[in-house]
Amino acid sequence: MKQKFTVLFDLDGTLVDTAPDLIHAHNHVMKKFGYPTKTLGELKNAVGKGAKAMMAKANGQWKWFDEKIKNEMTDEFLSYYGKNILIESKLVNGVEDFLNWCKKQNISMAVCTNKTEHLAVDLLKKIGIYDYFEYVAGWNTFEYCKPDPRTLNTIIEILDGDKNKSIMIGDSETDANTAKAAEIPMILLKYGYTEKRSNEIYHNHLIKDFLGIEKIVSKYL
């Protein structure tokens, strides 16, 4: 039996522009605990790294906080975000057309995100693209997460795929470093949730959105 080609997707900043809702959740926590809020521009580069990373970037005193307070703030963030996960978030341009194309090509698709698994699944369901994916892995799915290459290798193995017939699509150096370590080609979104410029991040192809990406992936089939 011929093995199917596998496309592995990051979620935040790749499939879905989640930054606005993540910023809202962050600012809700800051207000509740008496700290200044931040704009999307100030925090966009941190939103793909998780709640604690966002709050650490926004508040210089974070490293001095008691662990109990950090955990309370993180729990409040996750609770609020979970209830407001799809207020302003939207699919990146061309995503659904590309997912449909992959389905017609009999390509296996999976999500590998550092979002909590249940939040990733909830977002994918609510935004209407969950059924395209054969597997969804969050930071807490395995005993390891990105940038550990075992995340991608494990997903490919679960899908009965082959890493030599796989490609990663993401928007940050975390995605790129994971793909590089796993020895998988990388398609990088140009305007992702990262502080680095695209020319500083490992990639084989650079795109601004999903329009026309079929031409790139077709070369690997």
> What residues are annotated to the active site?
10
- One-letter amino acid at 172 equals S
Q: Which residues of 25-41 are buried (b: 16+ CB within 10 A; e: fewer)?
A: bbbbbbeeeebeebeee
> Could you give the 3-state DSSP secondary structure of residue 96?
helix
Dig out the tokens for 48 from the structure.
Answer: 């793909």
Other CB atoms within a 10 A radius of the CB of residue 134 amount to 16
Beta strands in the chain (DSSP E): 6-9, 16-17, 90-91, 108-112, 135-137, 166-170, 186-189, 205-207
Alpha-carbon dihedral sign for residues 167, 51, 122, 118: positive
Other CB atoms within a 10 A radius of the CB of residue 12 amount to 25
* Residue found by looking up tokens 């600012």 in the block: 27
Helix 117-127 × helix 67-83 angle, to 10°: 20
What CA–CA distance (Å, rounded) separates 169 from 36? 34
What CA–CA distance (Å, rounded) separates 67 from 130? 35
